[in-house]
């Protein structure tokens, strides 16, 4: 039996009042969005004949999600971050600003204010005994391949257990997080360790929903980047190391073909030697291309709540 009530005057009036349509105070855009959102929720409850038990379990789920601090982890798991990227790609296309290295999602684990280095940084603190050394390097250029000196390459990645410093309090401050200014040839380089993929907390809210969907909560080994240079569009992206079981099966939908890189394991490398690793090391090379723009609002990363974003930086 399908009970249909959403079309009634009583429910429509209720929705209007819920959204504050009957009062002057408040924000028009928020009112319209809440009206649409609650109308869709009511309709969903009707169409799926959602029971009170199901409804209240969803309410308490949202409460738990917030308590666990996992709202920004569930978002990419449900493809929302990817969808925002699809929209930004389409906006760029429409504005004639497509091209350059593709963007992909930021994720929830950035920490602002990492140490700034010129040309080269060592990113790991040397305490991860099981970690394998990695050397990552490349160029930042414009779309014509002209090197961009003094671009800021802001890098962050997980440790050999898939954990990120700051969120994992067992790591030192800013471990595996650095900002590197490109040299006069547009080059950046870093010595670090090979990151492992990330897995959602197995007992967390995100994984609980993913289980209901029959999905895993794993990300492949990846390295995050913000790249910025005056006169160019800010780039938020990641590279995925090829050969990971989850390279093309990322729960956060961040993999793009152009962003998958081979990690080359070598017995010895001149760059490694130069930066204190004489034995085996894995080399990763990736060049970034930025698109020119004079629009200031496109030259900075968009605002969102980020760890230490507004902290005083020494
Ligand atoms: C990550 O490391 C990440 O990059 C994303 C998008 C989600 C969870 C953990
Ligand atoms: Fe990540």
272: CATH:
2.60.130.10
What per-residue confidence (pLDDT) applies to 312? Answer: 66
Asked if residue 44 belongs to a domain, the reply is yes
Query: pLDDT for 69-128, tens place per residue?
Result: 999 999 999 999 999 999 999 999 999 999 999 999 999 999 999 999 999 999 999 999
Asked if residue 127 belongs to a domain, the reply is yes
One domain, residues 44 and 174: no
DSSP 8-state assignment for residue 181: E
Q: What is the pTM of this model?
A: 0.96
Any idea which ligand is nearest the CA of 223? 2
Q: Which domain holds residue 21?
A: 9-50
Query: pLDDT for 214-235, tens place per residue?
Result: 999 999 999 999 999 999 999 9
Residue 272: CB within 6 Å of ligand 1? no
Domain total in the chain: 2
One domain, residues 86 and 171: yes
Residue nearest to atom 1 of ligand 1 (CA): 107
- Cα separation of 149 and 181, whole Å? 8
Any idea which ligand is nearest the CA of 104? 1
One domain, residues 33 and 158: no
What per-residue confidence (pLDDT) applies to 310? Answer: 87
Asked if residue 55 belongs to a domain, the reply is no
Asked if residue 183 belongs to a domain, the reply is yes
Residue 95, token pair as written in the block: 């504005």
C-alpha 156 to ligand 1 mean position (Å): 11
Q: Output the CA torsion 149→231→229→76 (10° steps).
A: -150
- Cα separation of 97 and 292, whole Å? 8
What per-residue confidence (pLDDT) applies to 63? Answer: 98
Residue nearest to atom 7 of ligand 1 (CA): 107
Asked if residue 309 belongs to a domain, the reply is no
C-alpha 251 to ligand 1 mean position (Å): 9
One domain, residues 163 and 284: yes
Residue nearest to atom 2 of ligand 1 (CA): 198
Asked if residue 2 belongs to a domain, the reply is no
One domain, residues 23 and 160: no
Ranges of the chain with pLDDT below 70? 1, 312-314
Asked if residue 305 belongs to a domain, the reply is no
One domain, residues 32 and 132: no
Any idea which ligand is nearest the CA of 106? 1
What per-residue confidence (pLDDT) applies to 129? Answer: 83
* Helix ranges restricted to H, 68-124: 71-77, 80-94
Q: CA 75, 77, 79, 84 torsion: positive or negative?
A: positive
Asked if residue 236 belongs to a domain, the reply is yes
One domain, residues 197 and 155: yes
């Amino acid at each position: 039996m399908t009970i249909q009530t959403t079309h009634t005057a009583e429910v429509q009036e209720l929705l209007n009042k819920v959204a504050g349509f009957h009062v002057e105070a408040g924000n028009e855009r928020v009112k319209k969005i809440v009206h649409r959102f609650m109308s869709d929720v009511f309709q969903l409850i009707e169409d799926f004949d959602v029971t009170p038990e199901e409804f209240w379990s969803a309410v308490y789920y949202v409460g738990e999600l917030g308590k666990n601090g996992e709202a920004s982890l569930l978002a990419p798991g449900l493809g929302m971050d990817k969808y925002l990227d699809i929209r930004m790609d389409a906006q760029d296309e429409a504005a004639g600003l497509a091209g350059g290295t593709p963007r992909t999602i930021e994720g929830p684990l950035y920490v602002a204010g990492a140490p700034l280095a010129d040309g080269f940084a060592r990113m790991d603190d040397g305490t991860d005994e099981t970690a394998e050394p990695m050397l990552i390097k490349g160029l930042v250029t414009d779309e014509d391949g002209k090197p961009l000196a003094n671009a800021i390459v802001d890098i962050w990645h997980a440790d050999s257990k898939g954990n990120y410093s700051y969120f994992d309090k067992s790591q030192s401050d800013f471990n595996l997080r650095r900002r590197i200014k490109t040299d006069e040839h547009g080059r950046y380089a870093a010595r670090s360790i090979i990151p492992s993929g990330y897995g959602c907390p197995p007992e967390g809210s995100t994984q609980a929903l993913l289980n209901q969907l029959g999905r895993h909560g794993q990300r492949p080994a990846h390295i995050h980047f913000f790249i910025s240079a005056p006169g160019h569009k800010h780039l938020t992206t990641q590279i995925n190391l090829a050969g990971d079981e989850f390279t093309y099966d990322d729960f956060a939908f961040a993999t793009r073909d152009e962003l998958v890189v081979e990690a080359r394991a070598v017995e010895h490398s001149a760059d490694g030697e130069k930066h204190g690793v004489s034995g085996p090391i894995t080399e990763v090379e990736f060049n970034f291309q930025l698109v020119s723009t004079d629009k200031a609002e496109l030259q900075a990363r968009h605002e969102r709540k980020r760890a230490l974003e507004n902290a005083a930086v020494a």
